[in-house]
Amino acid sequence: MAKHKRVSFSKKNLVLDEIDHYYRNIEASTRLYFSSSNPTSDEVFVGRTKTEIEYELEVVSVENENLVALNLLASIEAAFRVDYLQRCYKKKKDSLSLALRTIHDIKGSHASLEDDIFTAWKDNTSSSSAVISDLKGAFKYRHWLAHGRYWEPKLGKKYDYFSVFILAQTVFNSFPFEGVNA
């Protein structure tokens, strides 16, 4: 059994309400920028047709959704990882904590989110296995975003900001995390 260093928590975890507020501000700002209400629109969009401007707005909006969805998924990952470590550090005795401690004894803070932590939740709690399956699918989307989008993803469903936000709400409302303020 290897001795693993304790992780120092930054307490800078992203909170769902803050992420949502950021998304709504960015979306409103983007829509204003691409509208005729933008005081510099004549200069910024000189020579472009209304259709071209609307297309560019759509491209920027989709990119904003992707980037903020990535933040949502990072927030979910942080919640599961903090919970994993807190359960290990506190030496909790429930079946989930015992399973996570077994993983921690082997892998320390380098446990795989999808293969180790999600599986421990699925096998040792009454948490919905459907939510865990949804998380695994959403994390395929996260990997695609985070690694440059250079391949055609096989996601099983379409992900966007709203679908990931709803999944994040479901996770934070239904999983009894240790030491996580979402």
Q: In the predicted model, what is the mean pLDDT of residues 119-129?
A: 89
Sign of CA dihedral 84, 169, 32, 149: positive
Is 7 within a domain?
A: no
Query: What's residue 135's pLDDT?
Result: 95
172 has pLDDT over 80: yes
Is 141 within a domain?
A: yes
Say how many C-beta atoms besides its own lie within 10 A of residue 94's C-beta: 12
Query: What's residue 182's pLDDT?
Result: 42
pLDDT band at 180 (very low <50, low <70, confident <90, very high): low
Query: What's residue 5's pLDDT?
Result: 79
Q: Tell me the per-residue pLDDT of 11-27, one tens digit each, with 9 for 90 and over.
A: 778 889 999 999 999 99
Query: 33 Cβ partners below 8 Å, 6+ apart?
Result: 44
Q: How many structural domains does the chain have?
A: 1
H/E stretch holding 47: none
Q: Which residues span the domain enclosing 54?
A: 16-174
Are 91 and 101 spatial neighbours (Cβ–Cβ below 8 Å)? yes
Is 138 within a domain?
A: yes
Is 181 within a domain?
A: no
Is 86 within a domain?
A: yes
Q: What does R_g of the chain's alpha carbons equal in angstroms? A: 20
**pTM (two decimals):** 0.90
Are 56 and 11 spatial neighbours (Cβ–Cβ below 8 Å)? no
Query: What's residue 11's pLDDT?
Result: 76
Return the ∠ at Cα 128 (arms to 182 and 7), rounded to 5°: 40
Is 182 within a domain?
A: no
Return mean pLDDT, the chain. Answer: 92
SS3 169: helix
Is 4 within a domain?
A: no
Is 166 within a domain?
A: yes
